[in-house]
């Protein structure tokens, strides 16, 4: 989930830059005006990332709840299908075909729920699939070129 990776990367980068800026200030390697300007810029970067993360996590929570609701209905469908087979309403071939279809849907929903849960629990860009170098000043970086190269393969 790229937008989660970008938001986490943005937050991490902002926090790293703030830490480095504080170290420079502590060692008197940056003047007050430059410090304040950069500190405000990096704080804004972190704040934007936190706002994005909140929205993304809210959407993931909603998606996970929906997947779990969908998963709850399938055990009963499997039982109903088995009963139809035992009663002779459907033949063995139809039962097997429908059973496999239902189990495939269940597996897909379980995989989607597991992936969504993983993203929801991700606290770092690495946990969400890897760090993406995000621009600090709003300008584009080399990631666009990397994406373009990947699409060409």
Helices 32-87 and 92-121 pack at an angle, to 10 degrees, of: 160
Q: Where are the domains of the chain?
A: 2-152
For residue 136, the model assigns a pLDDT of: 84
For residue 139, the model assigns a pLDDT of: 52
> In the chain, what is the greatest distance between 2 CA atoms, to the nearest angstrom?
85
Would you say residue 143 has pLDDT above 90?
A: no
| Angle formed at CA 126 by CA 146 and CA 143, multiple of 5 degrees | 15
User: Average per-residue pLDDT in the chain?
Assistant: 89
For residue 138, the model assigns a pLDDT of: 57
Q: What is the 3-state secondary structure (H, E, C) of 76-126?
A: HHHHHHHHHHHHCCCCHHHHHHHHHHHHHHHHHHHHHHHHHHHHHHCCCCC
The H helix count followed by the E strand count for the chain is 4, 0
From its phi and psi, is residue 121 left (phi > 0), alpha (psi between -120 and 50) or beta?
Answer: alpha
For residue 1, the model assigns a pLDDT of: 85
Of the pLDDT bands very low, low, confident and very high (cuts 50, 70, 90), residue 109 is very high
- The mean per-residue pLDDT over the stretch 115-143 comes to 82
| pTM of the predicted model as reported, rounded to 2 decimal places | 0.76
14-71 pLDDT per residue, tens: 999 999 999 999 999 999 999 999 999 999 999 999 999 999 999 999 999 999 999 9
Report yes or no: 5 and 143 within 8 Å, Cβ to Cβ. Answer: no
User: What's the distance, CA 63 to chain centroid?
Assistant: 11
Going by C-beta distance under 8 Å and a sequence separation of 6 or more, which residues neighbour residue 106?
A: 71, 74
- Output Rg (C-alpha) for the chain, integer angstroms: 24
- The mean per-residue pLDDT over the stretch 90-113 comes to 96
């Amino acid at each position: 989930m790229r937008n989660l990776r970008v938001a986490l990367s943005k937050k991490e980068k902002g926090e790293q830059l703030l830490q480095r800026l504080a170290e420079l200030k502590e060692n008197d390697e940056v003047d007050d005006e430059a410090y304040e300007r950069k500190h405000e810029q990096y704080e804004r970067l972190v704040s934007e990332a936190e706002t994005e993360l909140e929205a993304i996590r809210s959407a993931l929570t909603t998606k996970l709840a929906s997947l779990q609701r969908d998963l709850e209905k399938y055990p009963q469908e499997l039982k109903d299908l088995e009963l139809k087979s035992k009663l002779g309403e459907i033949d063995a071939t139809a039962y097997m075909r429908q059973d496999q279809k239902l189990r495939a849907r269940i597996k897909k929903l379980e995989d989607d729920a597991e992936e969504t849960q993983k993203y929801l629990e991700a606290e770092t860009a690495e946990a969400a699939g890897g760090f993406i170098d995000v621009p600090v000043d709003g300008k584009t970086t080399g990631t666009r070129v990397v994406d373009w190269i990947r699409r060409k393969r």
